[in-house]
Amino acid sequence: MGISLLLILLTGLLFPGLVAIVKAKVVGRKGPVILQPLYDFFKLMRKGSVYSVTTGFLFQLAPVIYFSSIFVSLLFLPVGNYRALLSFEGDFVLFAYMLALGRFMMIIAAMDTGSGFEGMGANREAFYSLLAEPAFFTIFGSLALLTGHTSFYDIFTNLYVESVLSYFVAILMIYILFWVSMIENSRLPVDDPKTHLELTMVHEVMVLDHSGFDLALIQMAGYLKFAIFGTLIFNLVLPIQNNFFVQLALFPIVQIIYAVLVGLIESFRARNKMMKNAQWIITLSALSVIVFISILIITGKINI
């Protein structure tokens, strides 16, 4: 259990640096060292936070709750044959709501500033998350139907890929979950973390008023959120019934592949037009419905 949590934390700490290196290499630059995001984090930790006179206690409280909710979400994720620290029937529902709690607090903090730009970013964050959540719940609801369990550990323990249709469903699930992770982390093609044009920003414009220690917590929460989705994808690629030592050996490999894919996508894919984002996200939810129908066929709920 401790090893699982340590692996996930290490993934979260190294992932941003690896993505930055991949993006730098693609454009022919040397790029930063892999630990540069950590150096930036500790630099911010040593700085004090500055608060606008228009903000209240919610603005100051939001980064702590945001980071705490993301960290608690990590405790639901199993790696290998050991249960997660928090594991019970229906835990994937609470897991999703923990992520939603952190997002809600950041939206409230953005609104608390009284800034029109931050309110615009909060509006987009809420809207995109609203569209993406059905895909997440449909995926794991389908897995619960397939395995007969509603906890992450039991789902991944009883997850078997046997038929051609099962392979198709597994690949489609991984594809959908990958893009949901890009939406949840405010990355391309929905958001560009490097843009400085407020009219097109989503997450970045929401944290413009945060500084110092608070901004460090927000950035670290973002790093850990990537680790969360990377772990979920890993458990779909290699369910828990595989040998524990094989799991430990392949976990960093899958995470590196995930980071490289993120870096390549952000290097070669253009950002969606703002008006197209909703349509693109809804398409993911439509694909998740295909997954659900396929699971109904596999389990014999629908006869064809």
Q: Is the dihedral of CA 190, 192, 196, 197 positive or negative?
A: negative
Does the reported pTM lie above 0.75?
yes
| Alpha helices (H) in 185-206, listed in sequence order | 203-206
Using alpha carbons only, give the angle 120, 125, 129 rounded to the nearest 5 degrees. Answer: 150
Q: Which of 75, 21, 13 is nearest to 224 (CA)?
A: 13
Which whole-number Å values give the CA distances from 57 to 75, 126, 200, 258, 264, in the listed order?
A: 28, 21, 28, 38, 40
3-class secondary-structure state, position 154: helix
The Cα 218–Cα 225 span in angstroms is: 11
- The whole-angstrom separation of Cα 213 and Cα 42 is 9
Cβ-based neighbours of 250, under 8 Å, separated by 6 or more = 234, 238
What are the residue ranges spanned by the domains of the chain? 2-298
Question: Which tokens hold the place of 242?
Answer: 């595989």
* CA dist., res. 79 & res. 87, Å (int): 12
| 79-97 residue pLDDT tens | 877 788 888 999 999 999 9
Type of residue found at 76: F
Task: Give the pLDDT of the chain (304 residues) as one tens digit per residue.
Answer: 567 788 888 888 999 999 999 999 998 988 889 999 999 999 999 998 899 888 989 999 999 999 999 999 999 998 877 788 888 999 999 999 999 999 999 999 999 998 888 888 899 999 999 999 999 999 999 999 999 999 999 999 888 877 777 888 989 999 999 999 999 988 888 887 777 766 677 888 888 899 999 999 999 999 999 999 999 999 988 877 667 778 888 898 999 999 999 999 989 988 888 888 999 999 999 999 999 999 999 888 777 6
